Structures are given as C-alpha cells and as structure tokens.
Amino acid sequence: MSAPGAVLTRRPVGGGSGHPDPDRPRLGGAFAQVALALVCAGYTTGASLGWGSPRLALFMGDFGLSAAAFTAAVSCFLYGRTHRGDTRPAWLLFAFSSFMAASGNAVWGWYEVVLRTEVPDSSAADLFFLLFAPPAIVGLLVLAKKPVTRAGWVCLGLDAWLIGGSLLTLSWSLALARTAHFEGEPVAQAALALAYPLLDIVLVSMVLVLHFRRSQANRSATNTAIAALALTVLCDALFTSPLLRENYASGQLLDAGWFAGSLLLAYAPWGVRRPPDTAAAPRGPWLHSRPVAGSLAALTPYLAAAVCTLGILYNVVEGRRVDRVVVLTGCTVVLALVVRQGIMLLDNIALTHELAQKENHFRSLVQGSSDVIMIAAPTGTLRYVSPAASGVYGRDADDLIGSELASLIHPDDLGAVVHEVRRFLAVSPADEPTTRIECRFRSGRGDWLNVESTVNRHQGGLIFNSRDVTERVRLQAQLQHNAEHDPLTDLPNRALFTRRVRQALAGRRSSDQGTAVLFIDLDGFKGVNDRLGHQAGDDLLVQAARRLHDSVRAGDTAARLGGDEFAALILGDGGRDRAARRNQVQEIADRLRLTLSQPYRVDGGNEVRVAASIGVAFAEPGIEAGALLRNADLAMYRAKAAGKDRVELYAPQMQAEVVRRTELAARLRTALHEGEFALLHQPVVDLATGRISAVSAQARWRSSQGILFTPAEYLRVTDDGERTAELGRWLFEEAVEQAAERAGIGHRTPVSVRLSARRLLDRSLPLGSVESLLTRHGLPSGSLIVELADSDPRTSLDELEQRLVALRRLGVRIALDGFGSGHVAINALRRLPVDILKLDRGLVEGVVESARLRKITRGVLRIAGELGMRTVAEGVDVPEQVVALRAMGCSHAQGMAFSGPLDEYRLRRALVRDEYPLPGAVPVRAGNRPQIRSNNETPVPPT
C-alpha cells in the first residue's frame, strides 16, 4: 500500500487467476478446426492442379460439392433436432438450403459424370440452386436479434433494402443490364440468368444487415454460418459474371470456395463457442471506446447510399444512357435513407427524453438512499460520494470526494480489503459480478464504524454501496460471547474451554508436556443449595468463579463447566524439567484448593464453607483435548472418593479402573436374567439363649468368571436406578418365597429384607403387591421384617410413617437399620413405628477397645429398651464383642462370631440345630483376636 491507488490495482485477467481464457478453443475444437482447414486446403490444391485428370476433376467438382453440401445439411439437421431453443428453426432451414445445394450439384454431376453430356441451359439443377437462397435468407432472419418495437422492424427492412438496392444498382450498371437486354435469348432463360444474382444480392443484404444485428446467444455459431453463406454468395457472384461463366468447368478453383463454404456451415453449429457474457466484459484500454461493430452499423445507410451513387456515376462516366432501373432503384434507396433517418431522429428524441427521466429517477434514488454510494477511480481516489455520507459517516460528501480510499480504512483491515479487491478484479465478471467487504471506516467523529459494502465494477474502478453495521457487529459479538460464556459467572463455558484446550495442544505447544488441565468440584455445594436456597448457591458460585479467575495467570483459562464444576487450563512454559513443572502445577492446585475453601458470605451475610476436590491431568505427546479432559475428570472423582478436599494427579491405572467398572456394570445388566445371583441368609442370634430368632436375606453375585461380589461392591459400579430396583424386587420376592417354603416344613423363622425409604415412597414396591405376595406364598403374619435403610434428610417422614403403618397392618414388622450413623436417626426413632433397632456397625467395631464408644452404645441400648424395642447388633465378628454387647443389654446380634451368610441347604441345617454357643467372659488379650472379617467384607478375589 505504498501508493494510494494500490487498493484498486488490477491483475491481468488470465494471468494466474485460475480461470481459463474463454476465447481460447479447447483441444477438441482446435482439432476440428485444423481438420477442416486441411480438408479445404487439400480440395483447393487438387482444384488448382486440375485433379490430375479431367474425369476426376468433373467428379470432384460435382459430386465432391454435393457431398460437402450434404454434410452441411446433415450437420445442421442433427443440431436442430438435438438442441432446443430459439435458433432451432434457423439450423433446420440451413439444413434444407444445403440439401438443395447438394441436390443441385448431384444433378449437375449426373449430366457431366454419368451421362457425359453438357448440362442443359434449363434443368432441375437450376431449380435446386434457386431454392438454396430463400431458406438461408429466412434462417438468417431467425438468427437476427429481434427488434422490440415496430420502428425497429421498419428500420430492419429499410436497412436490408438500402444494402440490397445499392448492390442492385451497382450490379445492374456493371453486368445485369447487359444480361437483361441480351437479344435472341428466351425470356425464361433471361429470367433464370437474372434470378441467380438477384437472390444472391438479397442474401448478401441479409448477411450484411445481420452481421450488425446478430443475437448474443451462440454468437460463434452465428458468425461462422454468416461467413459460410458469405463465401458461398461470393462464389455465386463470380459464377454469374458472363466472362467467368463462359469459361467455367467443374473441378476448377471456383469450386473450392463452394466446398469450403459448405464445410464451414457444417462446422458452424458444433464449433467451440465462448460464453456470451465473456465478450461483453470490458478489458484493457478499450474500456471507454465504442464497439467497432456499432460504428459500422451506424455507417451502413451512408455506405449503401454511396454504393448506389457509385453505380449511377459509372453509367455517366461510361457515357451510357442512365437506365430506368438504376434511376428507380436509386430513388427508392434515397427515399429509404430519408425515411430511416427520420425514424432514427424520432427514436433518438424519445430515447433522450427517457434517459433524462431515468437519470432523474436514479439521482433521486441515490440521493435519498440511506446507504452511502461511492465511486472510486482506478487510482483509488473517490470521484463520487452520495449525500447519505453525512448521516452515516458524519462527514460531508464534498469533503470525501478527492480523498484516497485507503486513508479512510482502518490500518488493521486494509490488508484484507486490498486482498479481496485484487481477488475480485482478477476473476471474470460472469463468474462473480459483485463481492462484499466488511471493514472499519473512519467517521467524522474520530471513531471507527463497522461498514459493510457491496462492490461492483465500474469503468475500471469500483462502486461501493456501503451501510453502517456497527450495531449489528456489536450484537453479533455479544451473542458470540453469550454462546461461549457461562451466563451466571461470565467465565468461559465447556465449549470455549474445550476449544482452548484443543488450541493449546496444537501448533507450537503440541510438544509442551507442561500444559495441564484442572477439574474442580465444590464439595458441600449441594447442602448450601438445600439449606439456604438457590439464590445463595448462585452467589457462592459467582464468588468461587471470581476467586478462580483471580488465581490463574493471565494466559491461562478458568471456566465453569456446569453446576458446581469448574476447570482451569494451565499452559506450559516450554521447560523440559517435567518433575519441576508437575510440582509447580500441584502447588497451584493446592493454593487454588485453599482459596476456594475459604468461607463465603452469601445471602445477606450467611457464612458458609465448601471444600474443593481437584483433579490434575498433564498433556502427553499425541493426546487429544477430549482425552485430556477425561483424565482430569477421572482424577477429580478419585479425589472425591479418597475423602474430598484434596488434589489428585491423574495416573493411567485410573482409566483401567474405569474400564473395569464399566465392564462390570455391563455384565451386571444381564447377570440377574442369567441366574448369576444367589440369595444367602445370615442368622440373627438371641444373645440370651443362643437360638436363631431371624435370618437376614442378602444377595450375592457370582459372575460367569467365578468371582463373588457383595452388594457394596456390585452396586458401587452401576448408576442404573432401574437395574437396582429390579434387583431389589428380585431379592424381596425370592426371600418371601424361600421363607414360605421353610415355614411349610416347620421352620417359621422370620426373614429380614433391607429396603430403602426412597424405594418405599416412590411406589416401586406397592402396598397391594406386598399383600398379594404374602398371600400367594402363604407366609404367616410376623414372618417378614422390613429393614428401613435410608438416612436421606429429604425423605418425608409423614409419607414414610403412613407407608410403614400400612405395612404393619399386614403383619410386617419394621426394623430401623444403621441406627447411630445418620443425623436423622433420632427424629426417625421418634416419628416412625419401629419394632426393631439395628445398631450400626460403627458402634460395634470399637465397643471393646473404646470406653467412650461403650458409653454411647450403652446409652443407645438403654433408649431402645425404654421404648420397648428389640435390639440387633450388626457386624459382631469376635467373641469379645458378644460378651460386651450382652453385658450392655443388647438382645440380638448377627455376624461372623456366629455364622456368615449361608445358602439354603446350610441354613436349614442351622435351623434344625437352632443353637449357637455363646462365649463366656473371656479376657481380651492383644494380638490373640481371631482374624475374622464381617459379613459385609466377604473376601473377593482380584479381577
């Protein structure tokens, strides 16, 4: 942009623009043209040398011309049949005209070659030759550009007569008058002699007129056809001259003209044609010049009058008496010229008036338009600016005229504008008539406006139709920002964060293994939402986002992925010390964890605390963005599983664990239907007598690989609530059915089945189904115990109480499982109709060693005794626990101290025996305790 006019610098068309020159023929067209030239040259050579023998000369002069004309007839006929359009009748007429010429030459050859006689003065050949011109004349009229007004049709006829009358005057003076007054010759023979030149004059007139009035469609074919007919007429004119006709013989050089004209007409419809729009494209220094064809068309009437005058002067110079035909023809030509000039004068006056109206109309449109219209010269100087510039740009149009366009465009946008303008000027106008450019434009107020311009070519320069789109650009930028940012915290969302991670892993940073992604989850956020409401939760998220954004570096990215999940992209510094970089990123993560764990003031001053579990994953060579994000997510979940409020670095075994759990969950979906689940029962022992007072139903999964899984293990790998509910229904129905079978043989021991409060309330186990199940299997009243295992604070105790009361009416006893582990246990004990209280294993495990825990357990047992409830200690694994719990007043216990879970066969044997030995007061010695695990920790072989 060293020169102001460089904006509009035009590259040469075809000079590397990638567009072929439309005027350049293709390979097939060039081959056809060369072949045509060689055939015509061969015929001309043969005719000039006499073909070597008179016999061959006659044959080639007659049947050779017939074959060429017949080829033209077939070619034009086939083109007319296969191509639909306005020019189809013209080619069919040319085909008929050529067929007449072929027939005439064939008849001529019949006399000369076959019959070996001279051709009669009047024969069928003359009829065929006379029928050659009329179809060709009509065909030329079809190819002509049709006038749109009545005056145009009149001018077309006058132009044809001007040319024809002038040629008739000159021809009559030179030769036709002598032919018309030839004495001793019959009238028919004289008329026939005159018919040839007169028809040729008419044909020449139409050729000349249509050369300047040809249609734009298929101009190459039209020009070739006109040239072919012109060559044929020229040979006819030479043939009709008395001097040449007297010495003419078939096979001479004159036949080469007819032969070439026929082949040229055959080639015309199939020749290579250029698009009509290409020829109209202005190029080079001829941009401002008038077309040569238009100038010649304007001079045609005057040239015709000059030819007519020349014919009359010839008679005067030769001293001849002026023939009446010449006088009459000359007068009509002059009259036609006067009439035509009058019509053109009236037409010019009407066009001038119409042009003035259109100019006023377009001037009003331009001046009243809200868009700014600017015309730039090839040098880049503004030559015209519409008045709308004052309202759009804040600058008067007169101030902008004469300024350089490059000086008004923002420097950052100038390169793109120059590139687009040069590209636009390099392509063909037919391929791309307009283009659009958007850039920033200097306004009169000193700021930059976003301007969108539609650019058109104009006499070597450009026309810019510009409008202010600043508000639209601002709105688009705002919409783009909203689509890529979280509406609450204004941090980048998941889509934008993923794109930036992808960018960080590409390009020059692809080999930087110091780039890391941090996944952050706020532990305890859900509790804030439940206690204080969503407004407080949103306030907390906004503050956490602000802390996260302030904690990362300027080049890093902090984002909110959704809910209480955040992420951070820490870009690498290009260093090669991976250990130091890992320590640095871990320090950043620890500092961020501490920052996010600081107290928050929400909802008018309430102070809340949340912790942060952070997973860190480092980039590896060849890793993709999705895989890196997944690794950080796995590390974050490992941090939550390990106790929350901590930082975990990704390790490959985390992915292996996920794969294992996924495979296990997939096998679990079909395990129930394939009979891989088994129902076991663990005895509940009366600590006073040692007898079995109940059995606790437990499901075990023995997979097809032979691995035994406890409920805690196989339920942890699936989040499929439907599958869990299906397993719960199977456990309940199977336990009732087996309990009924045992009752039928005399073992009326109650069975205890664990159900969650949520499952009771969501009607997955309807009340009617429980009653029908007990009735169907004939289970006696009191033989079913439902263990309520749920401590969700959102559970409605009112609905749960109604549900349990309905179950008790069916003879079902209710046990409160896991008492002492949740904050809702006391409230549930106060509200719900409970028959049995099961102590949580957390109260049982340390009851021997911890005096404090013994006091708590003793207090719980005392409360249960005062409420009249039976107590069951769960997870009693060693004899010392049995002694301690019995001393505290616990009435029942289950665990490995008595028996593990039993299958149906071993359970029935235990029920027959119906007694377990109760340990006495055995001293507890350190290191002498049996290594027995509880029933909830059944050994599981590694997978």
Q: Which distant-in-sequence residues (6+ apart) come within 8 Å of 755 by Cβ?
A: 728, 732, 765, 786, 787, 788, 789
- The single residue listed with the structure tokens 């590896």 is 620
Which residue in 70, 296, 315 sits closest to 170, CA to CA?
Answer: 315
Q: Which residues of 878-898 are buried (b: 16+ CB within 10 A; e: fewer)?
A: bbbbbbbbbebebbbbbbbbb
DSSP state for residue 174 in the 8-state scheme: I
Distance CA 689, CA 477 (A): 81
Residue 454 pairs with which residues in a beta bridge?
436, 465
Largest CA distance in the chain: 167
CB of 902 closer than 8 Å to CB of 938: no
Q: How far from each other are the two terminal CA atoms of the chain, in whole angstroms?
A: 72
SS3 state of residue 128: helix
Q: How many CA atoms lie within 13 A of 658 on its CB side?
A: 13
- The single residue listed with the structure tokens 């013989």 is 249
Residue-by-residue DSSP string for 32-94: HHHHHHHHHHHHHHHHHTGGGSHHHHHHIIIIIHHHHHHHHHHHHHHHHHH--STTHHHHHHH
Q: Which distant-in-sequence residues (6+ apart) come within 8 Å of 296 by Cβ?
A: 212
- What is the pTM (predicted TM-score) of this model? 0.48
CB of 164 closer than 8 Å to CB of 300: no
Note the helical H segments in 505-565. Answer: 525-532, 534-551
Distance CA 856, CA 840 (A): 12
Distance CA 564, CA 338 (A): 95
Q: How many CB atoms lie within 10 A of CB 79?
A: 20
Q: How far from chain centre, in Å, is Cα 657?
A: 39
Distance CA 703, CA 664 (A): 9
Which residue in 160, 153, 115, 117 sits closest to 137, CA to CA?
Answer: 160
Q: Could you write out the three-class secondary structure of 339-372?
A: HHHHHHHHHHHHHHHHHHHHHHHHHHHHHHCCCE
Burial environment of residue 483 by CB neighbours within 10 A (0 to 12, 13 to 18, 19 or more): exposed
Residue 694 pairs with which residues in a beta bridge?
684
Q: Which two tokens stand for residue 194?
A: 């005159």
Distance CA 900, CA 881 (A): 16
Distance CA 133, CA 350 (A): 38
Distance CA 660, CA 615 (A): 20
DSSP state for residue 113 in the 8-state scheme: I
CB of 353 closer than 8 Å to CB of 379: no
Cα-trace Rg, the chain: 54
Distance CA 646, CA 635 (A): 11
pLDDT computed for residue 518 by the predictor: 94
- The single residue listed with the structure tokens 């042009």 is 355
Give average pLDDT by consecutive 10-residue segment, the chain, 943 residues: 46 42 52 87 88 86 90 91 81 89 88 84 77 75 66 66 57 50 46 51 53 57 79 74 67 86 88 48 40 50 61 59 63 70 76 78 64 85 85 83 88 90 88 90 85 85 87 89 91 93 79 84 87 88 93 90 92 76 88 92 84 91 88 89 86 78 71 79 92 91 67 58 73 89 90 83 66 84 84 71 85 83 66 87 85 88 89 91 91 92 90 87 39 37 32
pLDDT computed for residue 540 by the predictor: 92
Residue-by-residue DSSP string for 703-763: -TTS-EE-HHHHTTT---HHHHHHHHHHHHHHHHHHHHHHHHTT----EEEEE-HHHHHTT
Q: Which two tokens stand for residue 33?
A: 């043209």
Return phi, psi of residue 828, to 5°.
-65, -35
Residue 518 pairs with which residues in a beta bridge?
568, 616
CA-CA-CA-CA torsion sign (323, 324, 327, 333): negative
Distance CA 211, CA 138 (A): 15
Distance CA 110, CA 124 (A): 11
DSSP state for residue 467 in the 8-state scheme: E
pLDDT computed for residue 470 by the predictor: 86
Q: Which two tokens stand for residue 42?
A: 């061969």
Which residue in 731, 782, 780, 783 sits closest to 755, CA to CA?
Answer: 731
pLDDT computed for residue 280 by the predictor: 40
Q: Which two tokens stand for residue 620?
A: 């590896």
SS3 state of residue 695: strand
Relative to beta strand 516-523, strand 611-618 is antiparallel
CB of 533 closer than 8 Å to CB of 603: yes
**Region class of 318: left (phi > 0), else alpha (psi between -120 and 50), else beta:** alpha
Q: Which two tokens stand for residue 706?
A: 């032979």
CB of 76 closer than 8 Å to CB of 92: yes
Note the helical H segments in 283-438. Answer: 292-317, 324-368, 389-392, 397-400, 411-426
Which residue in 22, 738, 3 sits closest to 414, CA to CA?
Answer: 3
Distance CA 276, CA 281 (A): 9
CB of 885 closer than 8 Å to CB of 837: no
The residue length of the chain stands at 943
